Amino acid sequence: MKNFFKNVMYVSLLTVALSFTACQDEIEEINNGEEPTAIAANSTTVDLIQRTSSNDGSCDNIVDGTSCYQINFPYTVKVNGITLTIESEDDIDEIEAIFDSVEEDENLLDIIFPITITAGDFSEVTINGMDELRSLAADCKEGGEDDDIECIDFVYPMTIFTFNVNLEQTSTVKVTSDRELRLFFKDLGDDGLISFDFPVTLELHDQTTIEVESNQELAIAIENAKDDCDEDDDDDYNDDDFDQDELNEELIACVWFVTELKRENKDQTPQFVNYILNFKEDGTVVTGFAGATTVEGTWSTTVGDDGAQLTMEFDASTEFNLEWNVNDLGDDKIKLYNGNGNRIVMKQLCDEDLPELTIESIGDILRDCSWVIKRVKNSGEQINRLLGDEFQFQEGGVITLTNSASVSEGTWEITSNTQGRFVVVITIGDEDAVSFEWLLSDLKDNIVRLNVEESFYELVIVKQCNDDDDEEEDITFLKNIFNNTVWNVALFSENDDESTDLYVNDTFYLANDGTLEIRNPNGAVLSNGAWLVYRNVFSGKLEMLISLELGSNYYPFANDYQILEIDETRIALKHENDTGLYDHLVLERA
């Protein structure tokens, strides 16, 4: 905070009887019978008053990156490809919800210019582009060091008296908001003299109120309260302003299930999906799979100026041994990270949230609809030729695997291992890549994750039903966009290495039955495949699966993609590879 001016000026007024004469009809009288004091407009007290009544711009830091300015409502933004009209602070919360639904923390936000912003003194400026906004943000002091005071507020209305240099009252002004108060001082001038009609009421950050009876008491109250709270002026929308007690209470409230684990940029999620961490009040933490052997360790937390940390130590399960920075806590989810590619995402589940699965109920779920392969890995290598192939779990233990060229048949059953974990046994003689005893890692509404214990074998399948009555609105919107439409390749890159030029003459034809064709400029079909859009319930993201026939020259396009941006004329897709690099595909309507 800035140093305060040292020119405090308190001037005792003369009493009404001595100050006003009959020839001063234009001068108002003070009728409260007291002997108030006037303060100069350039005094320390007025500086405190103006800072307390400044416009707080921190509510939209997630949008503009600065607490010195606030964007005037309404305005429009694009958040991860979703267009939002922001009309209130509640709408800003929706932006954070969209950001938090993306596990990778790679979020895109575009402001639709021009916009109008309001400064701390309530002056307004029109901004025509991001460069102008960044220039203003660069001049703003972040991290709680800006001039505004947010831990104490005036309770309106208030009455202010103005005086001339002879200490004669010249006017009475009633203000009803911070804006009116700041604009009053803006018009007053540095040589103005003012006082308040006391008592004046102020509200503290904990919603309690206090009354002050003089300018001196007012200055003391503001000075004492100005640093009593976290103003949340930083640019970290995910700090969530929790203290150590709140963090500890959240950790021990219920058990936590691992949904993502990376160590040194190596994805170990398949081996730890649905792995449980149970934090105890005595500082111990128990880990393991439900019904399996558990490992006990210790945990502790710290919360300071550099944020919140969670430290875990185990003799075994060393993947968790680290001092983790708490990046996000809320909505029953916690994100932990440490430099050099270390990351954990966990979901909190309380007793009432835990699914009650049995061998019979799992069988009913699998038989309910067909299941499309989203991902299959053998020894860590992704088998792209199986993307889009369709399982049908049938009565009597019969299973089929269908693609555009063939149908393979085999057997399936559900059992449990010695640790009590559910196992889906699949045997298809024609397809060794899926014929394993798969551990059931996770089962949600429309996605099943399976893996082979202590190996890099993984199978993820997506539910595909013919009945669209319960289909969500976003999926229906996407399917309507791809209703027998033709698309050009605007961008394609593998591992961030662009190769768009190889495909500039090719087009994608997407049919409404889920099939696709890649055609040359003359309309000849070069390759056949399939497409599927769905909601990944583990991450909350919209995803698109593109599969192509075996041996296709366009096989690099086959992938499970996250949908970054989509409208009637453009779709942007991204796939993260095990290397940490990305494949990008952008299609534009022909």
Q: Structural domain boundaries of the chain?
A: 10-53+149-225, 58-138, 244-349, 359-464, 473-589
- Six token digits for residue 304: 């300071």
Give the number of other Cβ atoms within 10 Å of residue 25's Cβ: 7
Which residues have a Cβ under 8 Å from the Cβ of 503 and sit 6 or more positions away? 489, 492, 554
Strands of the sheet containing 193-196, edge to edge, are 10-12, 37-40, 193-196, 158-163, 169-175
Closest by CA position to 494, among listed 431, 388, 573: 573
Phi, psi values for residue 79, rounded to 5° = -115, 110
Helix locations, 200-322, DSSP H: 215-225, 244-253, 269-272
Task: Tell me the average pLDDT across 373-393.
Answer: 88
Could you give the CA distance from residue 551 to residue 210 in angstroms, rounded to a whole number? 77
Residue with more model confidence, 293 or 90: 90
What is the rounded average pLDDT of the residues 567-587? 87
448 has a pLDDT exceeding 70:
yes
pLDDT of residue 25: 36
Which of 75, 54, 61 shows the shortest CA–CA distance to 127? 75
pTM for the full model?
Answer: 0.47
pLDDT of residue 237: 53
Residue 104 pLDDT level (bands cut at 50, 70, 90): low
**Confidence category of residue 156, pLDDT binned at 50, 70, 90:** very high
CA distance 66 to 411: 60
Q: What whole-number distance in Å separates Cα of residue 552 and Cα of residue 493?
A: 18
pLDDT of the residue at 471 = 64
CA neighbor of 427 nearest in space, from 398, 387, 458: 398
In angstroms and rounded to an integer, the radius of gyration of the C-alpha atoms of the chain is: 32
Q: Are 295 and 314 in contact (CB under 8 A)?
A: yes
Rounded to whole angstroms, the Cα distance separating 452 from 535 reads 25
Fold of 473-589: Lipocalin (2.40.128)
> For residues 511 and 517, what is the distance between their CA atoms, to the nearest angstrom?
8
Predicted confidence at residue 549, as pLDDT, reads 83
Q: Which of 28-42, 76-90, 115-129, 174-188 has the lowest mean pLDDT?
A: 28-42
Higher pLDDT, 541 or 355: 541
Most confident of the ranges 3-12, 322-331, 421-430, 472-481: 421-430
* DSSP secondary structure of 41-55: TTSHHHHHHHHHTS-
Q: What percent of the chain has pLDDT over 70?
A: 84
| Fold agreement between 244-349 and 359-464 | yes
Residue 364: in which H helix or E strand, if any? helix 359-368
Greater confidence, 240 or 192?
192
- Check: CB of residue 38 under 8 Å from CB of residue 11: yes
Band (pLDDT 50/70/90 cuts) for residue 248 is: very high
Instruction: Give the pLDDT confidence score for residue 536 in this predicted structure.
Output: 75
**Parallel, antiparallel, or unpaired: how do β-strands 69-71 and 582-589 relate?**
unpaired
Residue 234 has pLDDT above 90, yes or no: no
**Cα 496 from chain centroid (whole Å):** 25
Choice among 32-36, 105-109, 188-192, 571-575 with the minimum mean pLDDT: 32-36
pLDDT tens digits, residue range 487-512?
999 999 998 889 999 999 999 999 98
Rounded to whole angstroms, the Cα distance separating 5 from 43 reads: 7
The burial of 415, by beta-carbon neighbours within 10 Å (0-12 exposed, 13-18 middle, 19 or more buried), is given as exposed
Task: Residue 423: name the closest of 409, 443, 408 by CA.
Answer: 443
Residue with tokens 């003012």: 194
Q: What percent of the chain has pLDDT above 90?
A: 40
Cβ atoms of 49 and 194 closer than 8 Å: no
pLDDT value for 229: 72
For the chain, give the longest Cα–Cα distance: 112
Among 227-236, 261-270, 317-326, 400-409, where is mean pLDDT lowest? 227-236
Q: Which of the four pLDDT bands, split at 50, 70 and 90, describes residue 585?
A: very high
Q: 244-349 — its CATH code?
A: 2.40.128.280
CA 472/CA 486 separation, integer angstroms: 24
Q: How confident is the model at residue 577 (pLDDT cuts 50, 70, 90)?
A: confident
Between CA 241 and CA 244 the distance in angstroms is 10
> What one-letter code names the amino acid at 443?
L
Task: Please give the angle made by the CA atoms of 407, 412 and 416, to the nearest 5 degrees.
Answer: 155
Fold for the domain defined by 359-464? Lipocalin (2.40.128)
CA 423 – CA 442 distance, rounded (Å): 11
Question: Mean pLDDT over all residues of the chain?
Answer: 82
